[in-house]
């Protein structure tokens, strides 16, 4: 495990880097976007996965400069990519629920939106390891994000605090379905419950779905049969460093 001080040092030494995992539209064959996954490069040039630092980091305010650093680096990467952006390309950042209304993060999201190509759209995917704030001022700020063009998605649906009650808040445009639910063949059940729950609250929201953790062709075919068009996972593509991603995306343009 890394200590918070190690993360602080990594930030000061410019050793926090974004990896990008493609999200595919399996119906059209287009690239829908990417999820940004943080990595720390240690002094021996080893790539350290977030499992070794993210839980502690998310409890600390250090997650704010950490996330802003990732946003800045992704912005720089996107500017370097030599393609003609021709349809919306969604960039999903992981944001802990309790930090969503932080003014610096909100400003960071808006800055990203204004300073990248108009087809590049930031999305905040909310990890509810810590519950989302229901304080009216926080809810007002969170709602303003979506209104400004930064949609919120629920990450790791049905884990942590993330469940149908979170969906009923009306704050979210989409849901990321964890790989475990795909492996258990529980996707149909989940979709039925989502529809039921939205009907109950009288909302006619359109909720988009991404199935994560797709590792096999069978799993891909299964989610297709269940009507899910957006997918992410090792079977499609692993998280890539910036230069590999820049090569990868060119195949789609």
Of residues 40, 153, 4, 147, the one with CA closest to residue 93: 153
Is residue 94 near ligand C2E by the rule CB under 6 A?
yes
- Alpha-carbon Rg of the chain, whole angstroms? 18
Distance, in Å, from the CA atom of 192 to the CA atom of 29, rounded to the nearest integer, reads 26
Cα→Cα distances 110→40, 105, 107, 114, 148, Å? 25, 9, 5, 6, 8
Q: What are the tokens at 3?
A: 């200590």
Binding mask 103-132 for Ca ion (x = CB under 5 A): ----------------------x-------
Smallest gap from Cβ 232 to ligand C2E, in A, equals 6
Q: Please, which of residues 178-217 interact with ligand C2E by CB under 6 A?
A: 179, 213-215
Distance, in Å, from the CA atom of 7 to the CA atom of 59, rounded to the nearest integer, reads 13
Rule CB under 5 A: choose which of 94, 98, 166, 232 binds Ca ion: 94
Name which of 19 and 89 has its Cβ closer to ligand C2E.
19
Half-sphere exposure of 192 (CA within 13 A, CB side): 4
Is residue 54 near ligand C2E by the rule CB under 6 A?
yes
Name which of 234 and 252 has its Cβ closer to ligand C2E.
234
Cα→Cα distances 224→2, 155, 227, Å? 39, 20, 5
Is residue 70 near ligand C2E by the rule CB under 6 A?
yes
DSSP SS3 for 126: strand
Could you say which of Ca ion, ligand C2E, none residue 10 binds, taking C-beta under 5 to 8 angstroms by partner kind?
A: none
Q: With CB under 5 A as the contact rule, which of the stretches 25-33, 63-71, 76-84, 147-155 interacts with Ca ion? A: 147-155
Smallest gap from Cβ 241 to Ca ion, in A, equals 18
Is residue 155 near Ca ion by the rule CB under 5 A?
yes
Smallest gap from Cβ 221 to ligand C2E, in A, equals 15
Distance, in Å, from the CA atom of 19 to the CA atom of 92, rounded to the nearest integer, reads 12
Q: What are the tokens at 74?
A: 């992704």
Under the rule (CB under 5 A), what is the footprint of Ca ion?
94, 125, 155
Under the rule (CB under 6 A), what is the footprint of ligand C2E?
21, 36-38, 49-51, 54, 58, 63, 67, 70, 94, 96, 127, 155-156, 179, 213-215, 233-234, 239
């Amino acid at each position: 495990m890394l200590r918070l001080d190690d993360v602080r040092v990594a930030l000061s030494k410019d050793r926090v880097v974004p990896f990008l995992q493609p999200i595919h539209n399996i119906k059209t064959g287009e690239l829908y976007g990417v999820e940004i996954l943080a990595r720390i490069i240690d002094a021996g040039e080893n790539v350290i996965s977030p499992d070794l630092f993210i839980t502690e980091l998310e409890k600390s305010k250090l997650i704010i400069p950490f996330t802003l650093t990732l946003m800045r680096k992704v912005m720089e990467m996107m500017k370097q990519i030599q393609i003609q952006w021709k349809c919306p390309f969604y960039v999903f950042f992981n944001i802990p629920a309790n930090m969503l209304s932080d003014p610096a993060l909100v400003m960071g999201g808006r800055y990203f939106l204004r300073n990248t190509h108009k087809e590049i759209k930031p999305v905040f995917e909310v990890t509810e390891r810590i519950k989302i704030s229901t304080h009216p001022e926080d809810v007002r700020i969170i709602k303003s994000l979506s209104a400004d063009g930064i949609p919120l998605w629920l990450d790791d649906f049905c884990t942590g605090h993330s469940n149908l009650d979170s969906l009923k808040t009306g704050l979210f445009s989409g849901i990321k379905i964890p790989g475990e639910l795909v492996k258990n063949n529980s996707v149909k059940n989940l979709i039925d419950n989502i529809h039921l729950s939205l009907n109950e609250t009288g909302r006619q929201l359109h909720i988009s779905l991404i199935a994560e953790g797709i590792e096999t062709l069978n799993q891909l075919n299964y989610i297709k049969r269940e009507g899910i068009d957006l997918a992410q996972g090792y079977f499609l593509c692993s998280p890539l460093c910036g230069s590999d991603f820049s090569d990868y995306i060119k195949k789609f343009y």
